[in-house]
Amino acid sequence: MCWCKHVVVALYLSFLLFSTGFSTSTDGLVRIGLKKRSLDTNEQIAAKIEAAGGEKLRASTRNYRFRNNVGDPGDVDIVGLKNYMDAQYFGEIGVGSPPQKFTVIFDTGSSNLWVPSSKCYFSVACYFHAKYKATRSSTYNKDGKSASIHYGTGAISGFFSRDHVKVGDLVVKDQEFIEATREPSITFMVAKFDGILGLGFQEISVGNAVPVWYNMVNQGLVKEPVFSFWFNRNAEEEEGGELVFGGVDPKHFKGEHTYVPVTRKGYWQFDMGDVLIDGKSTGFCAGGCAAIADSGTSLLAGPTAIITEINHAIGAAGILSQECKTVVSQYGQMILELLLAEASPKKICSQIGLCTFDGTRGVSADIKSVVDEETKDVSSDGLKDDTMCSACEMTVVWMQNQLRQNQTQERIMNYINELCERLPSPMGESAVDCENLASMPNVSFTIGDRVFDLSPPQYVLKVGEGPVAQCISGFIAMDVPPPRGPLWILGDVFMGRYHTVFDYGNMRVGFADAA
């Protein structure tokens, strides 16, 4: 069975972004311009090869890890980007004296700086990108500590070094960074970026390295301990956006920002309220949900149960999940009767024998979609049981939402079967009909005291033009278990609509209408 190997090719977005340069003005702000770049044939070929090799990609989502001792050597893979190739924002930096130029992704979802090393001898990817040469820098300081970061489409490994890092006109002195000596993935070979500059907190920094942003603040290089993103989502315009260090640029937003406090340092995490479809509450986050603002994720990710409901509402076509259908046909009526009898929703799946209840939730840590036919014969009974448990937990959530709307039992059962058919592909994406945008509902998120709307043109990403054009839902599924989840990842789909301020000094994140 090969559908999961080829679907990724049709789902890549129509542009990548790279830096145009820097500017520093008398207002004390350091501006980094961003520019759009089209996806090319090499990247499509790489996507095919990666998918055919069995990589389980989820477009533009991360391999988020949540461990207790994030500085331990065993936690070097705490942050991993699954796929950089959909739509990213690039900028140019300089490392060393004189500065050696590198194109990097400015990523609020990670905290390390890494660039390819001149000592990268055995990875083809290094031959296609700029490489740092320590011998050419008068300010280089040896460190040598080993480092490794694992990604969904490969990994990078190498060692730490120290040198000056130039961002715009700012020079960060003695910055710890990773010289990558191995980049085995084809994705890195054809990527338009050389490395990553993380703008997250030190709590998720591999090797506990001090992030570049921390040193900008500590060395007194910025006017205010604030940086902000403006992403230009107008595909017709050449300008891609701007990253501002030291404050905010008033011309990039309208009205006032709504600020919420950072609730947990690591990612830029905050509390989010309800999720609404066409103005109606889904009830999923009635008790509150955690969210992060992440410039390194192109789409908007959330729990599978509610993402499936959103994709159903917008007419996004997913992949049939047999496990989901089985749960509905064999246990659906029983689940419904237990809900009507006011049984504890969290215990229902264990009561009917599909989950092992541990006092807080089922054993399922994440929702799994249908296993490829080629791997079913080696799947363990434990995996299958966990998938059935996950399908049951989703069914309970969906039925709860329908009961709140006073739907009939027959309507509820039909609706749940429809949702099963809308489950996303193993890569997380779902397609919509480009001609139906006018009839699709708004999807909204409550943050602070404001409801933030996304209209169909804002959450649907169009790939190509004319009769070959494809439209992709900007919503993808990702499940993070309690206590850190449910977690929403507000990536570029959201940040493109709303100018985003990362206020390090006051430990808060702010959103305002982008101008």
Residue owning tokens 């089985």:
326
DSSP structure string for 279-298: TEE--TTTT-EEEEE-TT-S
pTM above 0.85, yes or no: no
Question: What tens digit of pLDDT does each residue of 32-55 get?
Answer: 877 554 444 344 444 434 444 433
How far apart CA 262 and CA 254 sit, in angstroms, is 23
**Cβ-Cβ contacts under 8 Å for 53 (sequence gap 6 or more):** none
Rounded to 5°, angle at Cα 289 from 72 and 343: 110
Region 120-141 average pLDDT: 94
Catalytic residue among 163, 294, 386, 479: 294
Region 332-355 average pLDDT: 90
- What whole-number percentage of the chain has pLDDT above 70? 74
358 classed as catalytic: no
Q: Band of the pLDDT at 58, cuts 50, 70, 90? A: very low
207-221, 244-258, 385-399: the lowest-pLDDT one:
385-399
Residue 184, pLDDT score: 79
How far apart CA 122 and CA 89 sit, in angstroms, is 28
Question: What tens digit of pLDDT does each residue of 361-407 get?
Answer: 433 333 222 223 233 333 334 444 667 788 888 899 999 989 999 99
Catalytic residue among 86, 107, 274, 386: 107
pLDDT at 77 over 60: no
Residue 418, pLDDT score: 85
107 classed as catalytic: yes
Most confident range, picked from 257-271, 279-293, 384-398: 257-271
